[in-house]
Structure 1
Amino acid sequence: MLRGFNTAASGMIANQRMQETLSNNIANSDTPGYKADQGTMRAFPELLLQQMGGETIPTSNGGLTLPTQKELGSLNTGVYMQEAVPDFSQGDLRETGNTTDLALLNGNLPDDEGFLFFNVQNADGDVRQTRNGNFTVDGEGFLTTNQGYYVLDNDGGPIQTDGMEFIVQENGTLEIGDQNVQLGLTYSSNAADMVKEGDDLYTSGDEADPVENARDVDGVNFEVRQRHVEGSNVDPSRTMTEMMNTYRTFEMNQRALKAYDQSMQKTVNDVGKLG
């Protein structure tokens, strides 16, 4: 009975975490460049059940009993949400008319799981990646994200625009006055290794397979569109349906947990009366 109690409880916790993931997706459905998280469920390690017994063999001394084992099968003891994996698919483009808004379009990539990112500098001065091209210009004339992080050029330095007026070519080159500055772009051969850090930032989760300069990787094609932003790839209708299904599953585990609780309460009371 306690095993069933724990199994139902683990189902409730797993579905609660899945619901939190889906709610976060809905909340960011209008965030430029946001990539929806997909929760993955996994069963706890299975228990192998065996029947322990004995077999008596006739002997001259009256018989010999030998221990025997019979495999009955496996038993799952619960489920948990293993991880939330971002869905790295291209979002729809939306024209804004703002000079500082940039959208990054993936072209032909050499890897099926490959993906492209803008390079930015976080609050600690470390290089991070983002798909949110809803940029702006700060009071000192530097191109930044909405959180105030510097957008980096191909050499890893902040981009000085000297104001709002500049032109961005499709190859990611900024025409600022009489200067041309290449936008810093990163390529990850396996986007599933990228880890979300918050504020629409990503970092490479595997130091053995670091991200690369997109301009140095053979076969990588891309396009940068000015006055556009890439929208979120969250499908609100599908996400709402998944939220309802998750909630129903949560309720089913809740009813099972309540039934186990009532059974345990009745057992305890009855055992107390017999005593």
Structure 2
Amino acid sequence: MLRGFNTAASGMIANQRMQETLSNNIANSNTPGYKADQGTMRAFPELLLQQMGGETIPTSSGGLTLPTQKELGSLNTGVYMQEAVPEFSQGDVRETGNTTDLALLHGDVPDEEGFLFFNVQNQDGDVRQTRNGNFTVDGEGFLTTNQGYYVLDDAGEPIQTDGMEFTVQDNGTLEIDGEETELGLSYTANANGMVKEGDDLYTVGEDGEPVVNARDIDGVDFTVQQNVLEGSNVDPARMMTEMMNTYRNFEMNQRALKAYDQSMQKTVNDVGKLG
């Protein structure tokens, strides 16, 4: 019975974490470039149950008891939410009219799970990737994210725009005061290996494919559009449906836990009196 307590409780915890993931997706449904997280459930290792007994064999001395084992089957010990994996797909594009808004649109890529990113510099000076093209210009004239992280060029240097007036070509080249600067763009062959760091930033996970310069890979086709933004790929209707299903699963585990509790109470209060 105690094992049943643990199984039901693990189901409640897993569904609670799933609900938090779905709620976060809903909250970011209007965040430019946001990629919805997909929670993955996994069962704990199963236990193999066996019945232990004995069989008595008649002998001249009165009998010999031999131990026996009978396999009853496996018992699942619960479930947990293993991880939240971003769903990398292109979001809808909307026009904003802001010169600092950029959208990175996919064309053909050589890998099925391949994906493209803007390069930015985080607060520690490390290069990170983002899909949020809602950029701005800081007080020193550098192109930055809304969090103040520098947007990098193809050489890994911050981009000095010297104001809001600049033009971005379809190939990601910025024209600033008659000079051209290539926007830093990264490509990874397996986007599922990218990990969210917060502030719309991504980094390569432990088992992920390294990011490379998108312009150095044959077969990578992309377009950078100015004055538009890529929206979130969150489907609010689907998220609400999944949240309802997750809540029902939570309730079912809750009722199972309550039933175990009532059975335990009956065992302690009623059966114990017989002794």
TM score, norm. by length of structure 2: 0.96
Q: Which moved more, 1:151-160 or 1:218-227?
A: 218-227
Whole-Å separation in 1 of the counterparts to 2:66 and 2:268: 38
1:213 aligns with 2:213: yes
Name the SS of the counterpart of 1:246 in structure 2.
helix
The match for 2:203 is 203
The match for 1:118 is 118
Displacement after TM superposition at 1:261 (Å): 1.4
Whole-Å separation in 2 of the counterparts to 1:207 and 1:192: 10
Displacement after TM superposition at 1:143 (Å): 0.4
Runs of at least 4 residues off by over 6 Å: none
Q: Which moved more, 1:211-220 or 1:259-268?
A: 259-268
Cα root mean square deviation, aligned = 1.5
- Matched residue count: 275
* Maintained 8 Å contact 2:45/2:76: yes
Displacement after TM superposition at 1:63 (Å): 4.2
1:138-167 Cα distance to aligned partner (Å, 9 max, x none): 111100000010000000000000110111
Letter in 2 for 1:14: A
Whole-Å separation in 2 of the counterparts to 1:268 and 1:147: 58
The match for 2:34 is 34
Whole-Å separation in 1 of the counterparts to 2:31 and 2:239: 15
The match for 2:129 is 129
Whole-Å separation in 2 of the counterparts to 1:141 and 1:207: 37
1:260 aligns with 2:250: no
Whole-Å separation in 2 of the counterparts to 1:39 and 1:243: 12
Report % sequence identity: 85
Whole-Å separation in 2 of the counterparts to 1:208 and 1:249: 32
Whole-Å separation in 2 of the counterparts to 1:45 and 1:206: 24
* Maintained 8 Å contact 2:190/2:208: no
1:3 aligns with 2:14: no
1:108 aligns with 2:104: no
Name the SS of the counterpart of 1:14 in structure 2.
helix
Alignment of 1:231-242 (within 5 A): 231-242=231-242
Displacement after TM superposition at 1:65 (Å): 3.2
The match for 1:89 is 89
Displacement after TM superposition at 1:209 (Å): 3.3
* Maintained 8 Å contact 2:194/2:208: no
Name the SS of the counterpart of 1:269 in structure 2.
helix
Displacement after TM superposition at 1:62 (Å): 4.6
Letter in 1 for 2:141: G
Whole-Å separation in 2 of the counterparts to 1:176 and 1:263: 75
Letter in 1 for 2:26: I
1:17 aligns with 2:21: no
The match for 1:183 is 183
Gaps of 5+ in 2: none
Q: Which moved more, 1:77-86 or 1:250-259?
A: 250-259
Whole-Å separation in 1 of the counterparts to 2:165 and 2:258: 64
Letter in 2 for 1:219: G
* Maintained 8 Å contact 2:103/2:228: yes
Gaps of 5+ in 1: none
Displacement after TM superposition at 1:253 (Å): 1.0
Whole-Å separation in 1 of the counterparts to 2:209 and 2:197: 18
Letter in 2 for 1:195: V
The match for 1:273 is 273
Letter in 2 for 1:231: G
Name the SS of the counterpart of 2:15 in structure 1.
helix
The match for 1:43 is 43
Displacement after TM superposition at 1:202 (Å): 0.3
Displacement after TM superposition at 1:272 (Å): 5.0
Whole-Å separation in 2 of the counterparts to 1:114 and 1:209: 10
Displacement after TM superposition at 1:54 (Å): 2.7
Name the SS of the counterpart of 1:239 in structure 2.
helix
The match for 2:228 is 228
